[in-house]
Each structure stands twice: as C-alpha cells, then as structure tokens.
A = this chain, B = another copy of it.
Amino acid sequence: MKTIFVIGAGLSSSTLIQYLLDQSEKLDWKIKVGDVSLETAQRKIGGHKNGEAIEFDIFNESQREKEISESDLTVSMLPARFHYLAAECCVKFKKDMVTASYVSPEMKALSEEAEKAGIMMMNEIGVDPGIDHMSAMLIIDRIKEQGGKLTSFQSYTGGLVAPKYDNNPWNYKFTWNPRNVVLAGAGGSAQIIENGRYKFIPYHQLFKRTSRIEVLNYGEFEVYCNRDSLKYRKPYNIENIPTMIRGTMRRPGFAKAWDTFVQLGATDDSFAIENSENMTYREFINTFLNNECLDKTEKSLAKFLKVDLDSEIMYKLRWLGIFKDTKIGLKHATPAQVLQKILEEKWQLAPEDKDLIAMQHIFDYEKDGKKHRIKSSLVVEGRDTVHTAMSITVGVPVAIAVKMILTGVFKEKGVHIPVTKNFYLPVLEELKEYGIRFVEEEFLM
C-alpha cells in the first residue's frame, strides 16, 4: 500500500483529493491529507476508509519530516512560496513530489539533487500553468512533425463565472484568490514578442492594450498580456518564434473599467494609509483625485477618466459602491487591500453560482506555401461550489501526475514540467474522461 501525502486541503484540493480517494482501492493507496485546520482536512476525506486527515503545520520541522518520510509521494497545494520546505524534505528522504505551481528558483536549484536521489519532482501541472503547457505542446509538436513552420503562438486563460450566473455589469466574480486579481500585472512591464520585435508594456498601459478573441460558442472575450510571455520560448522549444503572447481572458469591457483603479493608483500595495479604518469608500477614491471636495468625487473621477457621468464605465464603478460613505474598517491597509475589500463585497460567488475556466491557444503556421491557423479551445464549467472549474482543472492533472509517477508511467527523475510527449500524451488522454477536452478549429488564412 502506497501513501500519498497531500498538504493543504483548501478549495483547490477538493477534486484532487476526490480523484485520489476514488482510485485508492483499485491502486491500493492511502491518502493522508494535512491542513492547519483538521476540520477542513476531515471534510475533504469525508470518512473514506483509505483516507486520513491530520492537523499539519508546514513550519513544524519534525512533523514535516515525519509525514513526508512516512509517505511515498507528497503533493504540495500550499501557496507557492512554501513549496521549498516540502521539496527539501522530499529530497532528503528520497520521496517523489508534485505541485501545480511555477518552478521557483529554489525548486530549480534542487534539480540535480532530486535526480541523484532518484525522485521525480513534477511542477506546473495544474491548469495555468499545466493544462496550457500540455495542450499547447501537443499542437506545437504536431505542426513541426508535419513540416509546418510556426510563426505565431498566442495562449490565453481566464477564470470567470459561468454564463448562466454571469449577472453583474463587470461580467466578473472572484473565483480564485482575490488578492492576486487585484495585483494582476502590477510591478514590472509585460514582455511579448510580435513579428520578431520585443514589445514591453508597463503596468499602467496593460489594461489599455487589449484585444478580442472568440471562444467556441461562448462568445467574445477580452485579453490582456501576462507579465512574461518570453520565458516559455525555451521550454517550448520555439526560441526563434516571431510572435509569442500569453495572456489573461476577461469579458469585454472589464479591462477598460479596471484600468480606472490602475490609473488612480488604487492598486498600490506599497504603503499603508494612515487612519484607513475611519476613511469611507468615497474618501478613499477621493485621495487619488486632484479634487478637494468630497461631493464632487464622481464628477472628478469622470473628468479624470475623460468619460461622461452616464458612461458604461461610470455605471460599472458606481455599481461597486465606491462612492458610498461606508467606513473601510481595515487598519493600516494599503490601497490594494482597501480595493480588495470593496470588491469582495460585490464580486463574491453566490452559493448557487458556478465558475468557468476558458483557455484558447492560437497557432499560426506556414506549410506548403500556405498560411494556416489552428485554434484550440477549452471551456470547463464548475459542477458545484466544491468541485469548481478551478478545482477540477487544477486537481485532475495533478492527481493524474501522481498516478503516473506511482504506477511507473513517468520514469523521469529530477525537476520537470509537462512539456514533452512522455508527459503530456497520457495526461491529456485521461483528462478527456473528466471533461477537460480541447476543441480544435483549423483555418486557411
């Protein structure tokens, strides 16, 4: 009997744990789930006979060493910055590991040691990163094998609300960590390459430089660039591609309205506002305007945005309640924290709401003197508030990777991401059984 240790039993672990429990009898597995909240871990196990819930603190070294050394494989679903604690321990006790997160410099540094220890450390095998890598590489490799020359690769992913529940003027609700949404793109410039030329887009231009894509019968989406679209040229083995853009999908109109907060400076997370708890939402917005009079906050903002008071963007902003005299109530809060609080009241998923994960890759290539385009699209809707689209698309590929490692399908050792056939073919095949199925469309251009 093999023991799989899952660290972190939050929302994103639901489908992962369900998959592992479902397979546990056939494959003779024990599933141990550790979380700072014993109750959360217990809820995920649901009394399954092959499951065990424990209270677990990643910072407790002796507990960490005990649990990891007693298991055959550890899955870390912690925030990415804590993976290295589990990773070092996995190397020490020669245990395999899986995460859905980007390979951090700390993780990368362990590659040689992991190889020597004869263990597999699979990363970036969630949705984005993960499903995006695998589904993109399937087509990139195929185009190359068939003698095509890839000239452009665009890849977009979005976590949104399913159409039936999409009932607010922003066409957006928080389906994931709200803080990451508020800070999306903040910091340095986004980097892309277009027709052989690098293009750099600073944060305050990011939400102005959008374009539109159409995804199957789900209509139009708006896309803006992710931070670094260049770094996957190397692992994707397309280092000389003239155009490469990775981005985020929202519903049309979101970016223009969101840009209001960027332009105001309301997403700044670098300083705490004095006496923020006693400030009102209206006063908060007013701090960013060159305007002394609180009564005129709406007019000043419309003027600042160069839009009419009855413009779409002002309706969206009013709907958020940003002009209300509600007290913020958060002490020493940064602008980003205040904004997050305001948004959480309005962008919360209702209990009956279902989320949606949408992904689209667009490949342009030349073959036999002709220009072709392939669009490969995925849409997954959540089943319920536990098995959300986010939980399914993160959890299922992670769980499949766990199975592939323990059953010897993945024989590789060291730190990996799933960009090669040996990894992506079996995973993509099994993902179809769980409704994670890409639809391809091909066009002559």
Contact = CB atoms under 8 A, between A and B. Distances in A.
B200 A268 contact: yes
A408 to B, nearest CB: 40
A283 interface: yes
Interface residues of A, number: 32
Contacts of A204: 202-204, 263
A273 B205 contact: no
B209 A271 contact: no
A290 interface: yes
Nearest to A292: B195
Contacts of A187: 270
Nearest to A206: B265
A285 to B, nearest CB: 11
A349 interface: no
Contacts of A271: 188-189, 191
Contacts of A274: 198, 230
A292 B200 contact: no
Interface string A287-318: 11010100000000000000000000000000
A99 B283 CA distance: 40
Contacts of A199: 287-288, 290
Nearest to A335: B200
A197 B287 CA distance: 7
A189 B270 contact: yes
Nearest to A276: B198
B283 A197 contact: yes
A267 to B, nearest CB: 9
Interface in A11-66: none
A313 to B, nearest CB: 18
Contacts of A283: 197
A360 interface: no
A189 B265 contact: yes
Interface in A191-218: 191, 194-195, 197-205, 209
Contacts of A263: 202, 204-205
A265 B202 contact: yes
A82 to B, nearest CB: 24
Contact of A286 (B197, B201, B268, B273): B197
A264 interface: yes
Contacts of A198: 273-274, 287
Contacts of A194: 292
Contacts of A286: 197
A203 B201 CA distance: 15
A302 B10 CA distance: 50
A192 to B, nearest CB: 10
A27 B188 CA distance: 53
A426 to B, nearest CB: 35
A306 B355 CA distance: 40
A189 B268 contact: yes
A284 to B, nearest CB: 10
Contacts of A202: 204, 263-265, 268, 288
Q: Which 5 A-B residue pairs are closest in the complex by CB-CB distance?
A: A202-B265, A188-B270, A204-B204, A189-B265, A189-B268
25 contacts: A187-B270, A188-B268, A188-B270, A188-B271, A189-B265, A189-B268, A189-B270, A197-B283, A197-B286, A198-B274, A198-B287, A199-B290, A200-B288, A201-B288, A202-B204, A202-B263, A202-B264, A202-B265, A202-B268, A202-B288, A204-B204, A204-B263, A205-B263, A209-B290, A230-B274
